[in-house]
């Protein structure tokens, strides 16, 4: 069965203090319908990816909440998988279409984080950690710092090397009008930025963001015929232990390795055929590990491949995070997995403007929850 991405829309990501979740959801709902030249009545079901509304805002039952807000009284499902909530929601939406239950489904990823204090948000995000991690007082920056320390020692990587990752992502973000940060940064600036958790500095960390993203997927042959032709050819999930203490090796995520292997098999492609990918760079080190887990880089070469410009716009290799990634585009956690899919759809359709990857026909998204407990991988083609 062919499942197309027939419409999409994302809000600008950032500190959107003057906008409510309802408002953000309406923007992407209306714009994605408009882009697809579709009436709202064609949407047969709604899948919602969100992590924090219950914890921070005491709002559960979000699927019905947004179905009501958007004026579509259709079957609705809320999926929560920490920072992978968006891709896991899409995954379930894809299965519902493949199962033949629905033809046309909307998937909404949404998160409103900046209305809360930093302490509240950090505590909320730690809901994705393990008991042991929370009890220790560690934060996600601390967890990824442990991963970074292990990786850098193992492969002889310097902090300056690692800093090349956010520098590249800010360059990409500078070309994305929806990105939270559009300023160029240098390795020197990363090195001088506040030390958050050794060796990670402020500019190694993705921000706290607000945003909403929506895609409309369909198996309806008439709607596919009038779409631009992007299809989802693989949708897979992987799982690892919640806490780092349960892992044999901190320099890889089993969740991402298993999900991507299954996704490549489902799409009948090899990693080297992917022209563009959006990966989960919640911290600089996460992008390096993603490159290796997805088989884009050899083991230990993730950071160096970025440093050597192999994945930067203009390179002939796979282009990584043309949107600016979580670091520069922003990371409203429930929306991220959907924004990634939208970025890839735009790249494949050739409508990505200044950040357009040339001749891209296959793209991939990699969305991680917690410190790797869950990963969702999607592959798109045109």
Q: Is 98 in the site for a second copy (CB under 8 A)?
A: yes
Please name which of 140, 143, 190, 146 lies closest in space to residue 328, comparing C-alpha atoms: 190
Question: Which position among 83, 205, 282, 329 bears the catalytic label?
Answer: 83
Q: How many residues interact with a second copy (rule CB under 8 A)? A: 57
x/- letters, 310..349, toward a second copy (CB under 8 A): ----------------------------------------
Q: Is 237 in the site for a second copy (CB under 8 A)?
A: yes
- The only residue of 37, 40, 61, 358 in contact with a second copy, by rule CB under 8 A: 61
Please name which of 334, 335, 372 lies closest in space to residue 52, comparing C-alpha atoms: 334
Helix (H) or strand (E) holding 306: helix 302-307
Tokens of 83: 């920072």
Helix (H) or strand (E) holding 9: strand 4-10
Q: Is 88 in the site for a second copy (CB under 8 A)?
A: yes
Name the CA dihedral angle for 14, 93, 57, 26, rounded to a multiple of 10 degrees.
60
Q: Is 190 in the site for a second copy (CB under 8 A)?
A: no
Question: Which position among 172, 331, 366, 378 bears the catalytic label?
Answer: 331
Tokens of 257: 């390795």
Helix (H) or strand (E) holding 217: strand 210-218
Residues with Cβ within 8 Å of 123's Cβ and at least 6 positions away in sequence, in order, are none
CB atoms within 10 A of CB 202: 15
- Least CB distance to a second copy at residue 262 (A): 9
- Least CB distance to a second copy at residue 336 (A): 15
First-residue to last-residue Cα distance in the chain: 15
- Least CB distance to a second copy at residue 125 (A): 9
- The only residue of 374, 379, 380, 382 in contact with a second copy, by rule CB under 8 A: 374
Measured from the CB atom, the residue of 104 and 130 that comes closer to a second copy is 130
CA distance 378 to 365: 5
Q: Is 106 in the site for a second copy (CB under 8 A)?
A: no
- The only residue of 15, 27, 64, 349 in contact with a second copy, by rule CB under 8 A: 64
- Least CB distance to a second copy at residue 193 (A): 29
- The only residue of 49, 86, 124, 330 in contact with a second copy, by rule CB under 8 A: 124
Give yes or no for a contact between 25 and 63, defined as CB atoms under 8 angstroms apart.
no
- The only residue of 73, 184, 265, 351 in contact with a second copy, by rule CB under 8 A: 73
Residues 132-171 that bind a second copy (CB under 8 A): 134
Tokens of 158: 């310097």
Residues with Cβ within 8 Å of 311's Cβ and at least 6 positions away in sequence, in order, are 168, 291, 296, 305, 317, 318, 319, 320
- The only residue of 100, 137, 156, 177 in contact with a second copy, by rule CB under 8 A: 100
Q: Is 369 in the site for a second copy (CB under 8 A)?
A: yes
CA distance 53 to 113: 9
CA distance 181 to 168: 12
x/- letters, 14..53, toward a second copy (CB under 8 A): -------------------------------x-----xx-
Measured from the CB atom, the residue of 77 and 147 that comes closer to a second copy is 77
**Please, what is the Cα angle at 236 between 357 and 81, to 5 degrees?**
100
The yes-or-no answer on residue 91 being catalytic is: no
- The only residue of 10, 43, 44, 91 in contact with a second copy, by rule CB under 8 A: 91
The yes-or-no answer on residue 205 being catalytic is: no
Q: Is 110 in the site for a second copy (CB under 8 A)?
A: no
CB atoms within 10 A of CB 275: 20
- Least CB distance to a second copy at residue 2 (A): 14
Phi then psi dihedrals of residue 271, to 5 deg: -55, -40
CA distance 349 to 276: 12
- 3 state SS of 175: coil
Q: Is 246 in the site for a second copy (CB under 8 A)?
A: yes
Q: Is 55 in the site for a second copy (CB under 8 A)?
A: yes
DSSP sequence for 224-240: HHHS---EEEEEEEEE-
CA distance 17 to 244: 34
- Least CB distance to a second copy at residue 364 (A): 17
Catalytically active residues, by annotation: 83, 331
Give the residues lining the site for a second copy (CB under 8 A).
45, 51-52, 54-55, 58-65, 67-68, 73-82, 88, 91-92, 94-96, 98-101, 123-124, 126-128, 130, 134, 236-242, 246, 254, 258-259, 369-370, 373-374
């Amino acid at each position: 069965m062919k499942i197309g991405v027939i419409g999409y829309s994302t809000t600008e990501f950032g500190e959107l203090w003057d906008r409510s979740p309802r408002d953000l959801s309406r923007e992407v709902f209306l714009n994605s319908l408009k882009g697809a030249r579709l009436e709202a009545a064609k949407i047969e079901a709604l899948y919602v990816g969100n992590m924090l509304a219950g914890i921070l805002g005491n709002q559960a039952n979000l699927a019905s909440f947004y179905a009501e807000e958007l004026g579509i009284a259709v079957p609705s499902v809320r999926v929560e998988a920490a920072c992978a909530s968006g891709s896991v929601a899409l995954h379930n939406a894809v299965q519902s279409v493949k199962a033949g239950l629905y033809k046309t489904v909307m998937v909404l990823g949404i998160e409103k984080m900046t209305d809360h204090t930093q302490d509240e948000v950090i505590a909320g995000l730690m809901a994705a950690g393990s008991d042991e991690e929370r009890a220790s007082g560690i934060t996600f920056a601390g967890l990824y710092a442990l991963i970074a320390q292990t990786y850098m020692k193992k492969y002889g990587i310097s902090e300056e090397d690692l800093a090349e990752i956010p520098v590249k992502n800010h360059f990409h973000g500078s070309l994305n009008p929806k990105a939270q940060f559009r300023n160029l940064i240098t390795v020197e600036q990363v090195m001088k930025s506040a030390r958050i958790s050794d060796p990670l500095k402020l500019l190694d960390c993705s921000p706290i963001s607000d945003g909403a993203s929506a895609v409309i997927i369909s198996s309806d042959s008439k709607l596919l015929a009038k779409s631009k032709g992007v299809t989802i050819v693989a949708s897979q999930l992987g799982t690892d232990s919640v806490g780092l203490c349960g892992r044999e090796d901190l320099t890889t995520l089993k969740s991402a390795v298993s999900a991507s292997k299954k996704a490549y098999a489902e799409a009948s492609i090899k990693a080297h055929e992917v022209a563009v990918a959006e990966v989960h760079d919640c911290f600089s080190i996460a992008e390096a590990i993603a490159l290796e887990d997805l088989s884009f880089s050899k083991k230990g070469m993730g950071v160096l491949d970025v440093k050597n410009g192999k994945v930067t716009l203009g390179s002939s290799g796979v282009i990584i995070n043309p949107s600016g990634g979580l670091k520069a585009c922003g990371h409203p956690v429930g929306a991220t997995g959907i924004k990634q899919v939208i970025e890839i759809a735009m790249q494949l359709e050739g409508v990505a403007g200044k950040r357009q990857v040339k001749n891209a026909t296959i793209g991939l998204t990699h969305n991680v929850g917690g410190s790797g407990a869950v990963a969702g991988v999607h592959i798109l083609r045109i």
